Chains A and B, each alone.
Chain A
Amino acid sequence: MQSNLVDFIQVLRTQEVRISPAETLDAMEVARRLGYADRTLLCDGLAMTLAKTPEEEVIFRHCFDRYFQQELSDFSTQGEAPETETESGLSPAESATQAQELAATQATALQLAAETNPELEALLQTELMQNLLSNDRTELTLAMNQAAERVGLQQIQMFTQKGQFTRRILDAMGEEHIRSAVIALERDESPALPVLQRYRDTLREQVRDYVEREYLLHAEGKTQQFMDDILSKTRLNNIEHLYLHKVHELIRKMAKKLASRHSRRRKLLKRGRLDMAKTLRKGIPHDGMMFNTYWRQVRKEKPQILAVCDVSGSVAAYAKFLLLFLYSLQDILPKVRSFAFSSHLGEVSNYFSEHPVEKAIELVNWKYGGATDYGSSLSDFAQLALDDINSNTTVIILGDARNNNGDPRLDIMQGIYQRARQVIWLNPESRRAWGSGDSEMLRYQSACHFSAECNNLKQLERIVDQLLKSSR
């Protein structure tokens, strides 16, 4: 049972429930104290040690049910038979006896055929076939589990591997005997052929189901991790709409990670509450006279972030993600003001704080979408926020700097540059394209502390991480 529990924890880990070794030990202890008899009690108890948030608890309960599902696979060849029989008005007992009779006649049919066919004869002697004939579920399930372990089914990672593992398990269980017997029967055109075929198909079906179940248990999570990894490296404008939801999750996770890594900091300052202990200690040389007073105070550093996002047509595909990121960031960091622009600029912080993410992004796009005019947008920005920019402010600009050959108003950028602690420009275009055509990037770059190419989530994460580190 103990190794079972460890296996189960492994499964939970693939489903993104983080469990430390210490928690594994706790879980063992819980299982020992509560016993395995009461299923709900055990489930509740384990949930308390292993799941740390309500969301994780949902995943936990789902996995618990799936993992400790004690159902045995059904290997009888009359899979659908009972249903039709109940329709015809037979009682379950009668249908059961009928099923038994049917099995018996099938067995005798095989026996008869075996007399003329040595391969079938040999097959009937094997344990596998014996179990199949008597429909011994426990033995068969056991054999299947052992075979699965031998071929390392737990290592299954991708859905494409399902067929391969099914075949390997079948081989490990000795299915080739049935196969060769089927071929032999075909050659002889024996009447027992369909009977044996049916046994073979049932076996295959059950193994396939089993592999499917195990795949869901072990690999679904891994595939998810794999997907996350791929998604975070794909260029943002190539991510299909289908995965937008997933990306949202990823961004949220990332923003959270960043925010927790760079959360508020406290600092000891000169004045504040009297530090009595220190004052006393320092007074000792002066004969106990508290000559100097020492103070302590906690001060919260409040870095302010102003984020400006281009939502014009040329960056539409990126804007969605950048806005998504802004939204998440504003959710987490206390002092973020967001602005959006294409031809003119406006503050969108309120949309973000009042509406759910999809709605907010839609509203922003609707209100500020259009053709780009960096010049007038910058002057709007200066009007709205220039007075608030001080040495604690970080300004992030997200945009491609393509200004349709208009006036770039570099003077405003320089004004911002001089006032702010940091100006960061994230451009979705690759560095090579900067300055080509109507791109003003090279000029704007001169008024930025830091500018970078940013077109996938990995880059975005790295840049924002860097930004927050230096904004401390």
Chain B
Amino acid sequence: MHTQDFPQLDSVEKIEQGFESHGYICSRKIATAVFLAFQLRKPVLVEGPPGVGKTELAKTLALLLESPLIRLQCYEGLDEAKALYEWKYGKQLLYTQVLKEKLGDLLQGAQSLAESVAKLHQFGDIFYSEEFLEPRPLLKAMQQEKGAILLIDEVDKADYEFESLLLEILSDYQISIPEIGTIKARSAPMVFLTSNNTRDISDALKRRCLHLYIPFPTVELEERIVLSRVPGIDEQLRHQLVGFVHSLRELDLKKAPAISETIDWARSLLLLHAEHLEEELVRSTLNVLLKYEDDIEATDAELRALVRSTAADHAN
């Protein structure tokens, strides 16, 4: 991707505004990361608890730049045939059939065996050529004329070996295919890797990336996010619900509610025509916020106190 093609990414402020216009409220830090990634042509490794908008970041950037988003979801057992490329075996088989039929024409006039082999060599070998190559996400991202956003999602779920596979792509934006050679990216894509930290990413991979950690947002930021995603919600209720979610995050829970859950909850409350937080209302909708039975039970006991304190905090 060329710098001059994308005036949206000229400065950190412009990025912040651009993201906001697409409904993604980002902190200064996130905008800086995007700016640097673009300027330095480096991949960004995004870490953070689930649901803070790691994947959304890449999606929004694709919207902002009007570039194609190519996504590779990682899982255990992901290998190069699914991530990089695969040969079109069916077509290759057909090709050998066709070749066999044409063989007589090709070798016409050849007297000796040596001559036939020499003649055979004159014809290009297209058995292994780009025509028979089935591009998978990584190769596809390299082939985009105008660059692309490549999202390698949950890279920590893939095996350790897969990381080594990524190294060449991430540092030089090229792919080596043994039968063909090196394929360079037509235009270097912007790469985002996300990780939920289920295991440590190797140092070699980390070294090639900018490291961005997205924590849970501050109250102010989260209120802005809710405002942009659920615009119809009453201001007082917004204060209260964000305050409540923040107090939930301070409890010792298996999985703390993330931004995506806050937004879902705000939407649910809007649908229920709630005007302010009440204990009963919270109890009946708690399953939107908390995904484990244990968590719901643990919170249930303290619900009254929590609701009261957040209601008092944001009463005015």
A276 at the B interface (CB under 8 A): yes
Q: Which chain B residues lie closer than 8 Å to A416 at the CB level?
A: none
A33 at the B interface (CB under 8 A): yes
> How many Å lie between the Cα of A53 and that of B117 in the bound state?
59
> How many Å lie between the Cα of A47 and that of B298 in the bound state?
37
A470 at the B interface (CB under 8 A): no
- Of the stretches B64-72, B204-212, B299-307, the one at the interface is B204-212
Which of A44, A52, A53, A280 is in CB contact (< 8 Å) with B93?
Answer: A280
Please count how many residues in chain A sit with their CB below 8 Å of the partner chain's CB atoms.
Answer: 32
B89 at the A interface (CB under 8 A): yes
A220 at the B interface (CB under 8 A): no
Interface membership of chain B positions 200-230, coded 1 if the CB is closer than 8 angstroms to chain A and 0 otherwise: 1001001100111100000000000000000
B287 at the A interface (CB under 8 A): no
In the complex, the answer to whether A30 meets B207 with C-beta atoms within 8 Å is no
Known: A49-B210, A54-B47. A33 touches B40 (CB 8 A): yes
Q: Say whether chain A's binding surface is mostly helix, strand, loop, or mixed.
A: helix
A346 at the B interface (CB under 8 A): no
In the complex, the answer to whether B207 meets A23 with C-beta atoms within 8 Å is yes
Which single residue of chain A is at the shortest CB-CB distance from B99?
A288
B119 at the A interface (CB under 8 A): no
Known: A20-B207, A276-B87. A41 touches B32 (CB 8 A): yes
Q: Which chain A residues lie closer than 8 Å to B14 at the CB level?
A: none
- Of the stretches A5-13, A159-167, A259-267, A383-391, the one at the interface is A259-267
In the complex, the answer to whether A33 meets B39 with C-beta atoms within 8 Å is yes
Interface membership of chain B positions 41-59, coded 1 if the CB is closer than 8 angstroms to chain A and 0 otherwise: 0101001000000000000
In the complex, the answer to whether B42 meets A298 with C-beta atoms within 8 Å is no
In the complex, the answer to whether B28 meets A41 with C-beta atoms within 8 Å is yes
In the complex, the answer to whether A54 meets B213 with C-beta atoms within 8 Å is yes
> How many Å lie between the Cα of A57 and that of B206 in the bound state?
14
A22 at the B interface (CB under 8 A): yes
In the complex, the answer to whether A29 meets B40 with C-beta atoms within 8 Å is yes
A303 at the B interface (CB under 8 A): no
B36 at the A interface (CB under 8 A): yes
Q: Say whether chain B's binding surface is mostly helix, strand, loop, or mixed.
A: helix
**What total of A-B pairs shows CB separation below 8 Å?**
68
Tell me the chain A residues, 129-175 only, with Cβ under 8 Å from chain B: none
In the complex, the answer to whether A44 meets B32 with C-beta atoms within 8 Å is yes
> How many Å lie between the Cα of A264 and that of B199 in the bound state?
13
A255 at the B interface (CB under 8 A): no
Which of B97, B200, B203, B210 is in CB contact (< 8 Å) with A288?
Answer: B97
In the complex, the answer to whether A48 meets B92 with C-beta atoms within 8 Å is no
B77 at the A interface (CB under 8 A): yes
In the complex, the answer to whether B29 meets A260 with C-beta atoms within 8 Å is no
Which of A26, A41, A260, A277 is in CB contact (< 8 Å) with B200?
Answer: A260
Interface membership of chain A positions 355-377, coded 1 if the CB is closer than 8 angstroms to chain B and 0 otherwise: 00000000000000000000000
A82 at the B interface (CB under 8 A): no
In the complex, the answer to whether B211 meets A48 with C-beta atoms within 8 Å is yes
A114 at the B interface (CB under 8 A): no
Q: Which chain A residues lie closer than 8 Å to B35 at the CB level?
A: 33
Tell me the chain A residues, 411-463 only, with Cβ under 8 Å from chain B: none
Q: Which chain A residues lie closer than 8 Å to B96 at the CB level?
A: 280, 288
Min CB distance, A47 to chain B, in Å?
8
Q: Which chain A residues lie closer than 8 Å to B12 at the CB level?
A: 41
Q: Which chain A residues lie closer than 8 Å to B203 at the CB level?
A: 18, 52
Known: A44-B28, A277-B87, A288-B97. A52 touches B40 (CB 8 A): no
In the complex, the answer to whether B40 meets A26 with C-beta atoms within 8 Å is yes
Interface membership of chain B positions 164-203, coded 1 if the CB is closer than 8 angstroms to chain A and 0 otherwise: 0000000000000000000000000000000000001001
Q: Which chain B residues lie closer than 8 Å to A26 at the CB level?
A: 40, 42
In the complex, the answer to whether A280 meets B211 with C-beta atoms within 8 Å is no
A350 at the B interface (CB under 8 A): no
In the complex, the answer to whether B207 meets A45 with C-beta atoms within 8 Å is no
Min CB distance, B47 to chain A, in Å?
7
Min CB distance, B32 to chain A, in Å?
5
Q: Which chain B residues lie closer than 8 Å to A125 at the CB level?
A: none
B interface residue numbers (CB < 8 A to A)? 12, 28-29, 32-33, 35-36, 39-40, 42, 44, 47, 77, 79, 87, 89, 92-93, 96-97, 100, 159-161, 200, 203, 206-207, 210-213
22 cross-chain CB contacts under 8 A: A20-B207, A26-B40, A33-B35, A33-B36, A34-B36, A40-B28, A44-B29, A45-B36, A48-B32, A48-B36, A48-B44, A48-B212, A52-B206, A54-B213, A260-B200, A266-B159, A266-B161, A276-B87, A280-B93, A280-B96, A288-B100, A298-B77
A-B pairs, 8 with minimum CB distance: A48-B210, A52-B206, A276-B89, A44-B32, A44-B29, A288-B96, A33-B39, A54-B213
